[in-house]
Amino acid sequence: MNSDKLIDALFTQGWFVWDNFLTSHEVSELKACIPTDWSQAGVGRNDEYMTKKAIRSDKIQWLQSDMGPPVSDFLQRINDVRLEVNRHLFLGLFEYEAHFAKYEQGDFYQKHVDCFRGQENRKLTTVFYLNEDWQPEHGGRLKMYDLDDNELATLDPKAGRLVVFLSELFPHEVLPATQQRFSIAGWFRTNGVNGNQLDIAR
Ligand code: OGA
Ligand code: MN
């Protein structure tokens, strides 16, 4: 079962690619929920919060559970993942926040780590892709590195694919897309008390 593979991969290497996390029918229903109003994505938080187009040029919209059943079904599936991970890896994952992201032609997100400096509160990252018939020439690949800057994987943002990784250990970037690219990026946080560290050998 894929959730066993997820647990095993997170334990041994800290990341996992889950293809067909949703069926193509579910993906198209979710795609129909993509909002029409978007904000320029920011970098940093609170008073540091800035939109920095030099670092990322995508636009985002935060997921709300009242965006419709496809969105709440997706959040339910993600919650199942949370429960499995907590049951087996004791990460103490608690809240989940996620946004739709839209990359237009030429948009990118430079290499970064998904937790705010000085605050190790994002524990596990999920990225789900909504792009049917994505071709290599469409670019927009997710490139993952380890903390020693070794390249680990270069992944097409293809429909139904869920990428999961420990937020603090894997710098990553989105290479420029040559056509419109949609994803849902999300992060589990801990409640600050029960979180265990997974020490991945590197
Ligand atoms: C992010 C991110 C990756 C992707 O939004 O933090 O790294 O493939 N997204 O969309
Ligand atoms: Mn990221």
Atom of ligand 1 nearest to the CA of 103: 10
Centre of ligand 1 to C-alpha 170, Å, is: 12
Domains of the chain, first to last: 2-39+58-190 (2.60.120.620)
pLDDT at 138 over 60: yes
Centre of ligand 1 to C-alpha 152, Å, is: 16
Structure-token pair, residue 79: 């919650």
Centre of ligand 1 to C-alpha 125, Å, is: 9
DSSP the chain: -HHHHHHHHHHHTSEEEETTSS-HHHHHHHHTT--S--EE--BS-GGG-B--TTTB--EEEE--GGG-HHHHHHHHHHHHHHHHHHHHH---EEEEEEEEEEE-TT--EEEE-SS-TT---EEEEEEEE-BTT--GGGB--EEEE-TT--EEEEE--BTT-EEEEETTT--EEEPPBSS-EEEEEEEEEE-SSSPPP-----
pLDDT tens for each residue of 156-199: 999 999 999 999 999 999 999 999 999 999 999 987 654 455 65
pLDDT tens for each residue of 35-81: 899 998 877 655 455 566 678 999 999 999 899 999 999 999 999 99
More confident site: 91 or 162: 162
Instruction: State the pLDDT at residue 137.
Output: 97
Atom of ligand 1 nearest to the CA of 163: 8
pLDDT at 154 over 70: yes
What does the pLDDT average to over 123-141? 97
Per-residue pLDDT band for 201 (boundaries 50, 70, 90) equals very low
Residues at Cβ < 5 Å from ligand 2 ion = 114
Q: What sign has the CA pseudo-torsion 163, 168, 171, 175?
A: positive
Residue having the nearest C-alpha atom to atom 9 of ligand 1:
185
Q: CB neighbours (10 Å) of residue 164?
A: 23
